[in-house]
Amino acid sequence: MESLQIRRWNEIPPVKEFSCRIEKSNVPAVISGCVRLWKAFSKWDVSNGGLDYLQVPILNMGKDEKVQLECLREDIETPAFLEGKTLASVNLWMNNDRTRSSTHYDPHHNLLCLISGCKQVTMWPPSATPFLYPFPLYGEASNHCAVPLENPDFRIYPRAKNFDEYSQKVILHAGDALFIPEGWFHQVDSESLTIAVNFWWGSDMISGMLEHMDSYYLRRILKRLTDKEMDRMLCISTDTADRKVISSYGQSTHENSDLDMNHQTASSKGRNPEKSFMMNELEPLALQSLHELVSLVHDCVKPEGNSSADPSVIREENEVMKIVYTNLFDLKEDPIANFIWTLEPHTFQSVFLTMAHNFPRTLEAFLLHALSPVGSEVLTKKFEQLDQMIATNEQVQFYQKFYNVFDDQFSAMDTILSRKELFACQMQLAETRSQNPSGLGFESHRLRDICLVNSYVNPFVSVV
C-alpha cells in the first residue's frame, strides 16, 4: 500500500511532470492552489455573492436548446498540465447542504477542482474492488458499490469487513485540485455550500489500447489475478512439527509392496546405475522424507480389498482406487501436496531421484493417481525452485530419471499439466467470485468444461 499513498503537490506541476510522475502512476494526488488564479475563484465565492452570480434559468422557453452554463466557461481555466488531453467533459458541482456521494469509480481520469467550501474525499484503489461489492458488470450502476458503507451488513457482505484497511482520506480546501485516476473508488463528503468543477479525460492506457488487443490484455489480466490467487492458496504456513516420525531408517515398510515388485526389471530401461541415488546414500532427513512420502502414496492409492493386486491392474482399473481427498484444490486438505510443499529443493531432488530408482511404481501411482490439482501446482512450483538452484546438466539428469519411470512420458507430462490447468481454472473462478460475485456464468461453464475433460485422465475428479 505504501506505493499507493496519496501525495500532495504544493506547486502546479509542468505538463511533463504531471504526465510522467502523477498520471502514469495511477495514484491520486492533491495539487494545492491549482485553481486560485481562476476568475471563478473570486466570482463564485459563496461568501461574496457567488450564488447570485451563478443563477441560471431552469426553463428557457422559445429559445434553442444550448448548454445552460456555457456563459461560465470563461471563468475557469483548463490547468496547463492537462495540455494535449482530449477532455470528455467539464462539470459543475454545487450543493447547499451537507452531502455525501455514493461510492463509485469513473472510467475516466478525473481532476476535481474545489472553488469554494471544503470536501473530504475517501478513496480505494482498484485492488480493493472485492471488498466493495460493485454491482453486476452489465447493470446500470456497475461502477457503484453495492454495500452501504455507513452501516454494512457483514452477513450479506462478509468481505466488506476489510474495506476500511484500503481506504485513504484527503481534505480539499478552496483552491485545491485532486487527481482521481480511473478505476479508483471514491466517496465525496461536502460541507454546506461547496462549489467545484471537474475535468474528465481518457487515460493514455485505455485510449491507446486498440480493440484487437482486448482479448490479449484480458487474458494477461486474468492470468495475473489467477497467479495471485494460486500463490495465496499455496503460501500457507505448514507446521512440520507434527510430521510422522519414522523410527527406523532401514528398509522401507513398503519396499517390497505390490506397487514396486520387480522394479529392477520394470524401471531399468535407459538408466545409468552409476548415477542412481541409493537409499544408503541419503541423509537422515531425506531418508525420513522418502519413507513418509512413500507411505502417504500407499495410504492414498491402493486397491480396495485386494492387497495383492498386480501393478498393471492398479494402473488400469481406476474405479477401484481409494482416494481420500475431500478438497482437491486446498493445500491443507491434501496430505501429499502439503508434505511436498515443505521439502527444501535439494531434499526434494534427492527424494524423487531415490524414489524413481527404488520405488518406480510408487512414483507412477503418485503422479497418475494421487496427484491432485493443487498437488500438481505444488509439484511444478518445486520443479521451478529446483531449476533455479541446480546446473543445466543436473536438470537434464533429474527429469530423465523422473520421467523414465513412465511407459509414456508425454502422457505423464500431460497429466501434470491438465491437473495444473484444473487448479488454475478453480483459482480463476475463486478470483471471479471475489471481483464480481454475481457474474459467474461464463467462468462456471468454463470450469465445468475443464472438469469434464480432466475426468477422463484424472479418476478422482467429480463433475458437479
- The pTM (predicted TM-score) of the whole model is 0.57
> Which band of pLDDT confidence, cut at 50, 70 and 90, is reported for residue 442?
very low
Spans of all domains in the chain: 2-208, 232-454
Indicate whether 108 pLDDT > 60.
yes
As a whole number of angstroms, the distance between CA 209 and CA 206 comes to 5
**Side-chain half-sphere CA neighbours of 176 within 13 A:** 21
| Three-class secondary structure of residue 198 per DSSP | strand
- Does domain 2-208 fall into CATH 2.60.120.650? yes
Q: What is the pLDDT of residues 321-342, one digit of tens each?
A: 444 444 678 888 889 999 999 9
Question: What separation, in Å, do the N-terminal and C-terminal C-alpha atoms of the chain show?
Answer: 39
Q: What is the pLDDT of residues 348-368, one digit of tens each?
A: 999 999 999 999 999 999 999
As a whole number of angstroms, the distance between CA 194 and CA 94 comes to 6
As a whole number of angstroms, the distance between CA 391 and CA 402 comes to 17
Looking at residues 300-309, what average pLDDT do you find? 53
45-54, 217-226, 387-396, 446-455 — most confident range? 387-396
Phi-psi region of 290 (alpha: psi -120 to 50; beta: other; left: phi over 0): alpha
As a whole number of angstroms, the distance between CA 377 and CA 400 comes to 20
